[in-house]
Chain A
Amino acid sequence: MSSPPAKLRVQPDDESPAILPDELITEVLSHADVKSLMQMRCVSKTWDAMISDPKFVKLHLKRASRNPSLTLFLSKSRIDGDNNVVPFPVSCLIENPMITLPNDPYFRLRDKECRYVIGSCNGWLCLLGYSSIGAYRQIWLRFWNPAMHKMTEKLGYIWDNILGLYTHFKFAFGYDELSETYKVVLLILDEARNRTNVQILSLGDDMWRSIQSFPAVPLPFRYSNPGVNDVVYLNGSLNWLALRDSFRSIGVYGWKNVNVKEFVIISLDLGTETYRQLMPPCGFDEMSPVEPSICVLKDCLCFSNDYKRTDFVIWKMEVFGVEESWTQLFRISYQNLQSMHLDFVDLQYSQWLPLHLSDHGDTLILANKQERQAILYNLRDNRAVRTRITDDIQWFSAKVHVESLVSDILKPQVHQP
């Protein structure tokens, strides 16, 4: 993946001091962190141009994606709505330090007039904030690249009237590679009309626009804050787990009445803005009291479910969109996931969410609803260890995030074919 084409082969003169050609310098720099790269723009005019070049930004992003972080969402103070979001490198998390996250104002959302993180895409976080005016709320979005110290103004204003932000709205953030546009999608559950309306905001545009309504009922539908992971971004599409046809009232969630065959994955292509319906794995053939979920692991769409209250199963869609390519990735018994110190916790009735699979595939990071800490599961020796960060982190809101040099997301770039 990093080997340059043959024509760039350079033959070093073994007597003079090594002078790396530009192609190799570019490759070296693509492994450097954003802070250092911004300093290195001062090295020379050539380096300044090299580092600002969109092709380099893309290359750097590709490398950075192999060394991602998880955004840890927590509250450092008792003030309501004063949340922090701290990008924490996965490699660091796996080493499992016992630490307390610093109370750095840089990571405070309140100062940015926001409360939640909707998603992360190419190094940019989509933040959501609101203010209450009587019985109504004015909601806005704001975009922030923490590595580049860049942030947009508040935009995408929306009013939340009878339908509530915490019960009827679902936001999602993604990127359309073809038009090089970042988009935010909003699902609005309209119980009265028995349907889910969908609006899209293309960053750079002033207005939200409506598209075809959602062909199913997205899950989960219960009171939850906007930052909770309920949508998956993968290669230019946004994906939700949903129930087809039926419309259940919020709060009354009789799982016993739900048939396995009602589950569907709705995939919205951000380029064409049309939907596709994907079936979950056929191996998921039995309902359970625990809700299944979807996530992305190793750049593939994954589906996870409880199996007979004995195991937690994760499936991987090897080829996106090809239902026959669902294969079982892991089957982990709850016994192996059990914590030594918390044996009163009923893991088999807990909802689980895989967060990340390490690069070499030997550590799976998972969260479960009943525990404060995340689980670092070693797939080689089937041992589970809890994380030891002392803060109260909302693991179900953790997003996979990378450091990127992408400095501008509002202007859709003119795409030259």
Chain B
Amino acid sequence: MAEEKSQASSSKMLTLKASDGVLFEVELNIAKEMKTVQAYIDDCEDIETIPIPNVLGKHLAIVIEYIKKTNEEYDAEFEKQWNMDDLQLLLLAANYLNISGLQECLCKAIAKRIENKSPEYVRKVFNIENDHSPEEEAKLRKEYKWAFEGVDKD
């Protein structure tokens, strides 16, 4: 994927404006990896500055860097730098901007971080209220006893 970036259209630059006003100048073929931006360009050809109202500057920077550098090795190390909150915000950004490779990479990363953790831990991560009755939860824990063995500490 990295090799395709230096093509004829790469000389044209585009400006992306993050929600907090931070501006990013990117090559057209980088911006096109964000299908949402591509659709924007298709609609209004002469546009030079595209507003990205849902993504903070710090996250947009990370997304742009990902698009530039993505490959097997980079992807494997990418997620290790970010905390859980950032991973979720990046996922929302990748989803909004419609970048399937990044979206998959982030989904996998978040899944890995919640694997074999207690339900209480997972609830905190995603801000979820437990609406199971104590009996219902006890029933599930009993039925899937094997799943609750050897759980990682929170």
- Binary contact track A163-187/B, C-beta < 8 Å → 1, others 0: 0000000000000000000000000
A-B interface pairs (CB < 8 A), number: 124
Interface members, chain B 40-55 (any A CB < 8 Å): 53-55
Contact of B64 with A by CB under 8 A: no
| In contact, B116 and A36 (Cβ under 8 angstroms) | yes
Q: Knowing A40-B122, A42-B140 touch, does A28 contact B95 (C-beta < 8 A)? A: no
| In contact, B91 and A24 (Cβ under 8 angstroms) | yes
| In contact, A43 and B123 (Cβ under 8 angstroms) | yes
Contact of A31 with B by CB under 8 A: yes
Report how far A401 CA is from B114 CA in the complex, Å. 24
| In contact, A24 and B92 (Cβ under 8 angstroms) | yes
State which of A13-21, A152-160, A272-280, A340-348 sits at the interface with chain B: A13-21
| In contact, A36 and B114 (Cβ under 8 angstroms) | yes
Q: Knowing A28-B111, A31-B108, A48-B132 touch, does A3 contact B98 (C-beta < 8 A)? A: yes
Contact of A388 with B by CB under 8 A: no
Contact of A415 with B by CB under 8 A: no
Contacts of A45 in B (CB 8 A): 131-132, 136
| In contact, B89 and A18 (Cβ under 8 angstroms) | yes
Give the distance to chain B from A268, nearest Cβ to Cβ, in Å.
Answer: 36
Report how far A208 CA is from B96 CA in the complex, Å. 53
Which residue in A12, A27, A31, A43 is a CB contact (below 8 Å) of B54?
A: A12
| In contact, B126 and A39 (Cβ under 8 angstroms) | no
- Binary contact track A2-17/B, C-beta < 8 Å → 1, others 0: 1110101111111001
Report how far A27 CA is from B116 CA in the complex, Å. 18
Contact of A35 with B by CB under 8 A: yes
Which residue in A11, A20, A35, A360 is a CB contact (below 8 Å) of B91?
A: A20
Which residue in A28, A39, A360 is a CB contact (below 8 Å) of B118?
A: A39
Contact of B104 with A by CB under 8 A: yes
Contact of A38 with B by CB under 8 A: yes
Contact of A44 with B by CB under 8 A: yes
Contact of A299 with B by CB under 8 A: no
Give the distance to chain B from A115, nearest Cβ to Cβ, in Å.
Answer: 24
| In contact, A18 and B85 (Cβ under 8 angstroms) | yes
| In contact, A44 and B128 (Cβ under 8 angstroms) | yes
Which residue in A10, A13, A14, A39 is a CB contact (below 8 Å) of B119?
A: A39
Q: Knowing A2-B100, A38-B147 touch, does A14 contact B131 (C-beta < 8 A)? A: no
Q: Knowing A36-B114, A47-B128 touch, does A42 contact B137 (C-beta < 8 A)? A: yes
Chain B residue nearest in CB terms to A9: B96
Report how far A8 CA is from B96 CA in the complex, Å. 9
Chain A residue nearest in CB terms to B39: A6
Contacts of B38 in A (CB 8 A): none
- Binary contact track B118-145/A, C-beta < 8 Å → 1, others 0: 1100110011111110001100110010
Give the distance to chain B from A29, nearest Cβ to Cβ, in Å.
Answer: 7
- Binary contact track A121-159/B, C-beta < 8 Å → 1, others 0: 000000000000000000000000000010000000000
Contacts of A27 in B (CB 8 A): 103, 107
Q: Knowing A35-B116, A42-B137 touch, does A2 contact B107 (C-beta < 8 A)? A: yes
Contact of A195 with B by CB under 8 A: no
Report how far A39 CA is from B91 CA in the complex, Å. 23
Report how far A211 CA is from B144 CA in the complex, Å. 40
Contact of B74 with A by CB under 8 A: no
Report how far A28 CA is from B128 CA in the complex, Å. 15
Contacts of B56 in A (CB 8 A): 14
Report how far A50 CA is from B32 CA in the complex, Å. 34
Report how far A47 CA is from B119 CA in the complex, Å. 11
Contact of A252 with B by CB under 8 A: no
Contacts of A33 in B (CB 8 A): 115-116
Contact of B88 with A by CB under 8 A: yes
Report how far A46 CA is from B122 CA in the complex, Å. 14
Contacts of B91 in A (CB 8 A): 18, 20, 24, 28
Taking A18-B89, A31-B111, A42-B137 as given, write out 6 further A-B residue pairs in contact, using a Cβ cutoff of 8 Å, ordered by the A residue number: A3-B98, A14-B19, A14-B54, A19-B127, A25-B126, A42-B141
Interface residues of A (CB under 8 A from B): 1-4, 6, 8-14, 17-20, 24-25, 27-33, 35-36, 38-48, 149, 360
Query: Can you report 13 A-B residue pairs in the complex whose CB atoms are below 8 A from each other?
Result: A1-B100, A2-B104, A3-B98, A3-B100, A11-B96, A17-B85, A33-B115, A36-B114, A36-B116, A39-B151, A42-B132, A44-B130, A44-B132
